Amino acid sequence: MLDERSKYLRRQIIRALRGGGRGHVGSSFSLVEIMRVLYDDVIGPEDVCILSKGHGCLAQYVMLVEKGLIDALELDRFCRSDGLLGGHPEHHIPGIAVSTGSLGHGLSLGIGMALASKQSRVFVVVGDGEINEGSIWEAALCAGKHQLSNLTVIVDYNKRQSYDAVAKVQPLEPLALKWRAFGFTVRLLDGHHVRQLQSCLREPRATERKPWVMICDTVKGKGVAEIENHPLWHHKDVFTADDAARLEAGLA
């Protein structure tokens, strides 16, 4: 069950989808609790959050609105020529560390930042479809080599890509063993369970010279039963008022 804050954040995503008339629905909904806990409870002034799976940007945008870095009215101008917010995060947006969306690049950028400032914590959120990219595993080798204990990779493991199940397109299992083999400390958890996320992200790491990965089991489109795990709701080229009403009703 989603609490009222999680429902509210999804309604803010719907607001942006209505404003832009398009956008990634399922990918944003699966990220809400991960982004919520990062921004509400974890990220400090010196920390960096990179949303490598940039198509889930609406979940990040609504949190940047919550933190006062973006005007809420920008949600109504999502993907419009007179607005600030595009369909992928861009560096000129307040609170966005790097431009992402070309999948597979965010982890390499995060490693560079983690190497440059060992006092900062770097959190990189990747998608399970995204980690089909070879660049992810090249970066993982580098992170393990440099024992980057200030780096945390968070996998949004919703098990769906844009057009089919991850297991059908390119199976990832045994995923936890793969990350361990690359020198990571691995945590497995429910990516929609706020307390689990809070507890994991607060675990002390001072004595462990390893990067971390949190493999978060999530549901694509989480919160609205009609769209959960439905490929047609990965992205909507045309998002209508009726679509918005259906999602709002599903969250009620």
Look at the chain and report how many structural domains it folds into: 1
Q: Which of the four pLDDT bands, split at 50, 70 and 90, describes residue 170?
A: very high
201 pLDDT higher than 70: yes
pTM equals 0.96
3-state secondary structure of 48: strand
* pLDDT tens readout for residues 176-197: 999 999 999 999 999 999 999 9
Q: Which of the four pLDDT bands, split at 50, 70 and 90, describes residue 208?
A: confident
Higher local confidence (pLDDT), 205 or 198: 198
Domain that holds residue 161: 4-251
Q: Which of the four pLDDT bands, split at 50, 70 and 90, describes residue 119?
A: confident
Q: What is the mean pLDDT of residues 213-228?
A: 97
Q: What is the CATH number of the domain that holds 172?
A: 3.40.50.970
Residue partners of 30: CB distance under 8 A and separation at least 6:
56, 156, 158, 191, 218, 219, 220, 221, 222
Place of tokens 């419009």: 80
* pLDDT tens readout for residues 31-64: 999 999 999 999 999 999 999 999 999 999 999 9
Contact 120, 114 (CB under 8 A): yes
3-state secondary structure of 131: helix
* pLDDT tens readout for residues 53-94: 999 999 999 999 999 999 999 999 999 999 999 999 999 999
Q: Average pLDDT, whole number, for the chain?
A: 96
206 pLDDT higher than 70: no
- Confidence at residue 76, expressed as pLDDT on a 0 to 100 scale: 98
Strand partners, 212: 152, 185
207 pLDDT higher than 80: no
**Residues 92, 108, 236, 245, CA torsion sign:** negative
- Confidence at residue 252, expressed as pLDDT on a 0 to 100 scale: 85
Contact 202, 152 (CB under 8 A): no
3-state secondary structure of 163: coil
